A = this chain, B = another copy of it.
Amino acid sequence: MRSVIDILDLSVSEIDELIATACNMIESPEKYSELCRGKKLATLFFEPSTRTRLSFEAAMLELGGSVIGFSDAKSSSAAKGETVADTARVVNCYADIIAMRHPLEGAPLVASLNASIPVINAGDGGHAHPTQTLADLLTIYREKGRLNDLTIGFCGDLKYGRPVHSLISALSRYTGIKIVLISPPELALPEYTKKEVIIRNDIPFEETSSLEKALPELDILYMTRVQGERFEDQAEYERLKGSYILDLEKMSLAKKDMSVLHPLPRVDEITCDIDSDPRACYFKQVANGKIMRKALIAKLLSAENVHCGNERSAEFLPKGVCCSNPRCISSVERGLTQLAVIGENGAKRCAYCEAEINF
């Protein structure tokens, strides 16, 4: 069975197929309402995330399946010292598919390596959250009718913003994409992502700290939150923060058909008076997220899906060499084999969290 840990585990044609299924599900939900009858989804949420968890659960119920799981590590066996690998082997006996959220990067990959049922990554620390990206892609597709020939602005925290990195990766495989990176220098996109994803794929891009200047040319604006705690200099934060809040005035600078996306929850980075603007698509994104999760669960549980494991080839690290990322599952879980994948630039990266390994 096949797992989805990262958005790049799905090929472009598979994403196109998921979007086609999703559109079909929207049109004729009744055709899918018994598809997963008798199947069980396990939602293993080692940290709370209501929106994502309820989205997966609603998706499975709409397919006629049922749900077991937990919403918090405190009610799980992890509190008694059980490894992620053992939890996966146990849940493997109870469910037909797993959606896992975990604060440690790579935990869902560990689960997928120890389960014979498909595992969907529902967010692993700062690493990946592929079903959020599927929600974003379906929203762009439904709003614009295409996934190519688009100018897309990413605004706010581009340094730590997991959905931003993941959507940029996903879009880098389409043609005619232009990217505008809008952030304070403190929160700029990491050099690695810029080099390995944007530049390597010859995607035209701009960098600016001014949302106002960037707005007029955008087809899509992807907003994220600028959090005060990311700044060393609080005075600097206070000076800046208003310029990354999207309000009616700034919206007046945008195209009439620009779409505003946001991964939610929003705090105050988009003012409430924009909610009723037809360009505000962040609640549509929520609905689209549920549909794409339905499409993905249906695909992974379908009989034809006979792939075996993830198609990335990993190699053992030499004894004594290990990942140095403290938020990586391999730094925490005992008994885990240290594995590396080879990045596109030839550098070795941890197979779990994709941090570069130096030795």
Residue numbers of A with Cβ under 8 A of B are 33, 38, 40, 42, 45, 48-51, 54-55, 57-58, 61-62, 66-72, 74-77, 79-82, 85-87, 89-95, 264-268, 271-272, 275, 283, 286-287, 290, 334-335
Contact = CB atoms under 8 A, between A and B. Distances in A.
Given A50-B76, A55-B94, A286-B93, A40 B66 contact: no
Nearest to A91: B54
A80 B54 CA distance: 16
B42 A33 contact: no
Contacts of A92: 283
A75 B77 contact: no
A113 to B, nearest CB: 12
A94 B54 contact: yes
Centre residue among A33, A70, A87, A287 by max chain B CB count within 10 A? A70
Contact of A68 (B48, B57, B267): B57
Given A58-B40, A265-B86, A335-B272, A77 B50 contact: yes
A87 to B, nearest CB: 8
Interface class of chain A by DSSP: mixed
Contact of A76 (B48, B81, B287, B334): B48
Centre residue among A49, A68, A271 by max chain B CB count within 10 A? A68
B283 A90 contact: yes
Contacts of A266: 82, 86
Contacts of A81: 265, 267
Top 8 nearest A-B pairs (CB, nearest first) are A82-B265, A58-B94, A272-B335, A93-B287, A48-B75, A71-B75, A50-B76, A93-B286
Given A51-B77, A71-B70, A75-B48, A89 B283 contact: yes
A61 B334 CA distance: 33
B40 A33 contact: no
16 contacts: A38-B62, A48-B74, A49-B77, A54-B69, A54-B90, A54-B91, A55-B93, A61-B66, A71-B75, A77-B264, A80-B265, A86-B265, A90-B283, A92-B283, A94-B290, A268-B334
A265 B49 CA distance: 25
A71 B57 CA distance: 15
A91 B287 CA distance: 9
A38 B335 CA distance: 44
B48 A90 contact: no
Nearest to A89: B283
Contacts of A71: 70, 75
